[in-house]
Structure 1
């Protein structure tokens, strides 16, 4: 694993064979996403592209309350000009996170606003608390949500609600996020990380090569289906895991059949 000892905007909260838990860690500015955090997220992505693992992203506590990310760092954002926007600083890293080989789980508590929300949209799974506040306040600051919200949000919640969030500044709480499918599970704050690990456990029980290829195929354009599905399945049909897992399934089924026969005698 790459040495992340010099990180200042992120913390490695937990690392296991199949996953890594990264905390956004700038509590003094409510985990606002600055260039340092972006650079460190790129370092995490580089490592996970080389050595794929499930990624759990969460925030930290600020004065006893959880917070994911309050958005981009306004002090830095205030000074950015046209060329900075054209560089796609946040959109590039969020896109890279979305394309990581294995699933990304966002554990959301408190504010997930602006760039913080767009970071969460890039995850494959989102779990939240009742205290979650999620939305896009950018137009109130004279800019737009330009790091994925204008297209990911529409895909996630549909056009009418996406427009209300993007154009009218609607902020959703945790219960509203669950209702519209923006998060898949609502848990108490003290159970949030446990819930993220429980989901990672379920993913980890699958064959991770199959998970990796399924995620890649899921995000391919419609016009390449069904060809891409067929080619990907051809790869998996040759994997050792396919033979081992299917044989284990058949062995268990046979064992159950014999057990039923023995009971009926």
Structure 2
């Protein structure tokens, strides 16, 4: 069986590009793709790098594989097949960038919502049409989406099946920028390069603190800062800043 993903290590950088690659079904997410993405997560948990997710053929992911989804029953839902994976992706040590072209619907949208950063193309269509199929988006959209775009718009997407265009997604800040399709991957790499210019430990800890429960602040912020205040990178980077300022 052909692989559902294509992986590219970027030479000389700390970036892994993962392309969703099931062109015959517009990159629909099936159990094989889920299993392969779990393997990617295991690798990135062992050796943290920035992850770029992108779809093949002008489509990010058209959703879950409906033929497979139709056969799933109660026990499959309780197993949280997609939600467990997307939670793992969201919790990866380094940032995750979703580069969205064409359709990002249903499970494809929920995968995008699990990323830290999202960019798109002018032909992006993103949303959750699950209620039209007699189910709900149970892999994160019911709670991630209102955090991303606010409750009124999230309810319109989830309850009325509204699909956002690229312009609407940008206005809602669901995506941070729009690029032509042939420039999308380069834009994702540009974002990854900006991340790479930061201190990796500071990025990892900042991501962890950002996602910590509200009630754990400000104690967790102070503990995290205490760790970073002892790092060599803090001394080196601040000294470099002072030396540069002195020389200007």
Q: TM-score range by the shorter chain?
A: over 0.9
- Aligned to 2:236, what secondary structure does the other structure show? helix
- Structure 1 pair 58/202, CA: closer, same or farther in 2 (3 Å)? same
RMSD: 1.0
2:43 corresponds to which residue?
Answer: 47
1:89 aligned residue (81, 84, 92): 81
Instruction: Give the whole-Å Cα distance in 1 for the aligned partners of 2:214 and 2:27.
Output: 37
1:262 corresponds to which residue?
Answer: none
Q: Contact 1:97–1:122 at 8 Å: present in 2 too?
A: yes
- Aligned to 1:182, what secondary structure does the other structure show? coil
- The yes-or-no answer on 1:100 pairing with 2:96 is no
2:20 aligned residue (14, 19, 24): 24
1:220 aligned residue (212, 229, 245): 212
- The yes-or-no answer on 1:253 pairing with 2:245 is yes
Instruction: Give the whole-Å Cα distance in 1 for the aligned partners of 2:150 and 2:94.
Output: 26
Q: Contact 1:59–1:109 at 8 Å: present in 2 too?
A: yes
Q: Which blocks of at least 5 consecutive residues in structure 1 are unaligned? A: 1-5, 257-265
- The yes-or-no answer on 1:12 pairing with 2:7 is yes
State the TM-score, normalizing by the size of structure 2.
0.98
- Aligned to 1:13, what secondary structure does the other structure show? strand
Matched ranges for 1:106-125 at <5 A: 106-125=98-117
Q: Contact 1:113–1:136 at 8 Å: present in 2 too?
A: yes
Instruction: Give the whole-Å Cα distance in 2 for the aligned partners of 1:43 and 1:57.
Output: 14
Instruction: Give the whole-Å Cα distance in 1 for the aligned partners of 2:34 and 2:79.
Output: 13
Q: Which blocks of at least 5 consecutive residues in structure 2 are unaligned? A: none
Instruction: Give the whole-Å Cα distance in 1 for the aligned partners of 2:2 and 2:50.
Output: 20
- Structure 1 pair 226/7, CA: closer, same or farther in 2 (3 Å)? farther
Instruction: Give the whole-Å Cα distance in 1 for the aligned partners of 2:218 and 2:65.
Output: 43
Instruction: Give the whole-Å Cα distance in 1 for the aligned partners of 2:165 and 2:18.
Output: 23
- Aligned to 1:100, what secondary structure does the other structure show? coil
Instruction: Give the whole-Å Cα distance in 2 for the aligned partners of 1:183 and 1:247.
Output: 35
Instruction: Give the whole-Å Cα distance in 2 for the aligned partners of 1:102 and 1:47.
Output: 12
State the TM-score, normalizing by the size of structure 1.
0.92
Runs of 4+ in 1 over 4 A off after TM superposition: none
- The yes-or-no answer on 1:34 pairing with 2:30 is yes
Larger radius of gyration: 1
- Structure 1 pair 7/215, CA: closer, same or farther in 2 (3 Å)? farther
> What displacement does 1:12 show?
1.0
> What displacement does 1:7 show?
6.9
Q: Contact 1:7–1:40 at 8 Å: present in 2 too?
A: no
2:167 aligned residue (162, 175, 195): 175
2:68 corresponds to which residue?
Answer: 76
> What displacement does 1:14 show?
4.0
1:159 corresponds to which residue?
Answer: 151
Instruction: Give the whole-Å Cα distance in 2 for the aligned partners of 1:108 and 1:227.
Output: 36
